[in-house]
């Protein structure tokens, strides 16, 4: 394919795995990343895995001149937009920082795309747009509800912006991918999730506890209305997740999209509880976890899992990897980066 794919946030957790897969599939990749929640070492991992050196801009999309410059200097054919802040709790404390970063970066990238005739855009959305769903599993038709955090609202507002834009610009094509809970790492263990500071998410907290970085894992509540009392999520392997991006991108390139704004749930269709994840980790790795059950974490949804039928049928994509497999790769990555990177 002639022309490049711009991967914003391409050194972040999902972006780095997507960039790697794109390079392996023969795409030319341009990364823009301001390193606000990522590290340069991830770039070495991408280069080691692929044997290729993507072009990288260490710049910030909040500056409208940045995407303009990138589009001017490269023949960009599509954008996969990952760049965003993602910590729910932090967004409650710093709402303006979240709106400014997540929405300005999006708007600036969209404006530059229009200015330079880029027609294909994939957006990183989240199951957070469904809130606490009334019916399970959630389909793309399930109601989008009022967001429970500024972070969640940036995803909802972003989808509104994309809806309005694609109504106005009929030749601009967007696919919004609503992720459930991405976990795991690249099978080589050369890239993975690299949380800065204390992790908010379950799996990095588990692997750090197993490694001895954290003393104890807290299970936030066991009095939910679920079989074992702990909340249920749809944990999807990072490699499955990024494979869906390639399929979505190809759908746009071929022009197979049925409308110029499409939405897909990316999940396995299987719910897993916090205790099930802990047990699966112990089984997959043979490492015992020190954990304690504590109070609920405010704002946590009780249970959510995807109905991925639309992505299965329309994209011809299906999550293949098991929970244990994902936890094993997450563990291999934790060990690798503790031993090999300066963190």
Say if CB 157 and CB 209 are below 8 A apart.
Answer: no
Active site residue 151: yes
Closest CA to 122 of 270, 5, 294: 5
Among 6, 190, 219, 315, binds ligand UFG (CB under 6 A): 219
Decide if residue 214 touches ligand UFG (CB under 6 A): no
Say if CB 193 and CB 287 are below 8 A apart.
Answer: no
Among 231, 267, 269, 272, binds ligand UFG (CB under 6 A): 231
Sole residue written with tokens 């506890």: 209
Decide if residue 338 touches ligand UFG (CB under 6 A): no
How far, in whole angstroms, is CA 15 from its chain's centroid?
7
For residue 149, the SS3 value is coil
Nearest-approach distance from CB 152 to ligand UFG, in angstroms: 6
Decide if residue 300 touches ligand UFG (CB under 6 A): yes
Contact region for ligand UFG (CB under 6 A) — 60-68, 162-170, 196-204, 254-262? 196-204
Termini Cα distance of the chain: 37
For residue 35, the SS3 value is coil
For residue 141, the SS3 value is coil
Nearer residue to ligand UFG within complex by CB, 57 or 264: 264
Say if CB 203 and CB 24 are below 8 A apart.
Answer: no
> Which residues does residue 123 pair with via DSSP β-bridges, in sequence order?
81, 176
Contact region for ligand UFG (CB under 6 A) — 37-45, 104-112, 121-129, 165-173? 121-129
Contact region for ligand UFG (CB under 6 A) — 13-21, 138-146, 295-303, 307-315? 295-303
> Which residues does residue 56 pair with via DSSP β-bridges, in sequence order?
31
Per-residue binding letters, 72-91, with ligand UFG (x by CB under 6 A): --------------x-x---
The contact set with ligand UFG (CB under 6 A) reads 86, 88, 126-128, 152, 181, 200-202, 205, 217-220, 231, 233, 274, 297, 300-301
The residues carrying an active-site annotation are 151
């Amino acid at each position: 394919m002639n022309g490049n794919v711009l991967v914003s946030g391409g050194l972040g957790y999902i972006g780095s795995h997507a960039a790697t897969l794109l390079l392996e599939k023969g795409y030319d990749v341009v990364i823009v990343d301001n390193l606000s929640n990522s590290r340069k070492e991830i770039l070495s991992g991408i280069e080691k895995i692929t044997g290729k050196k993507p072009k990288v801009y260490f710049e910030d999309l909040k500056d409208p001149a940045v995407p303009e410059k990138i589009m001017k200097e490269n023949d960009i054919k599509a954008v996969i937009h990952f760049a965003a802040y993602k910590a729910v709790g932090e967004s409650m404390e710093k709402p303006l920082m979240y709106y400014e970063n997540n929405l300005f970066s999006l708007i600036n990238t969209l404006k530059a795309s229009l200015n330079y005739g880029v027609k294909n855009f994939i957006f990183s959305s989240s199951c957070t747009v469904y809130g606490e769903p009334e019916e399970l599993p959630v389909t793309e038709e399930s109601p989008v509800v009022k967001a429970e955090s500024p972070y969640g609202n940036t995803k909802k507002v972003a989808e509104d912006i994309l809806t309005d834009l694609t109504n106005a610009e009929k030749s601009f094509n967007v696919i919004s991918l609503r992720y459930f809970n991405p976990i795991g790492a690249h099978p080589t263990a050369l890239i993975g999730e690299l949380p800065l500071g204390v992790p908010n998410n379950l799996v990095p907290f588990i692997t750090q506890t197993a490694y001895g970085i954290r003393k104890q894992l807290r299970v936030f509540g066991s009095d939910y209305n679920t079989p074992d009392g702990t909340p249920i999520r749809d944990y999807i392997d990072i490699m499955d997740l990024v494979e869906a991006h390639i399929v979505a991108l190809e759908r746009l390139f071929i022009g197979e999209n049925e409308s110029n704004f499409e939405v897909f749930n990316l999940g396995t269709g299987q719910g897993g509880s916090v205790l099930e994840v802990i047990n699966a980790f112990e089984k997959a790795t043979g490492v015992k976890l020190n954990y304690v059950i504590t109070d609920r974490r405010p704002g946590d949804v009780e249970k959510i899992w995807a109905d991925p039928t639309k992505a299965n049928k329309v994209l011809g994509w299906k999550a293949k990897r098991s929970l244990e497999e994902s936890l094993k790769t997450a563990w291999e990555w934790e060990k690798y980066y503790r031993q090999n990177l300066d963190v």
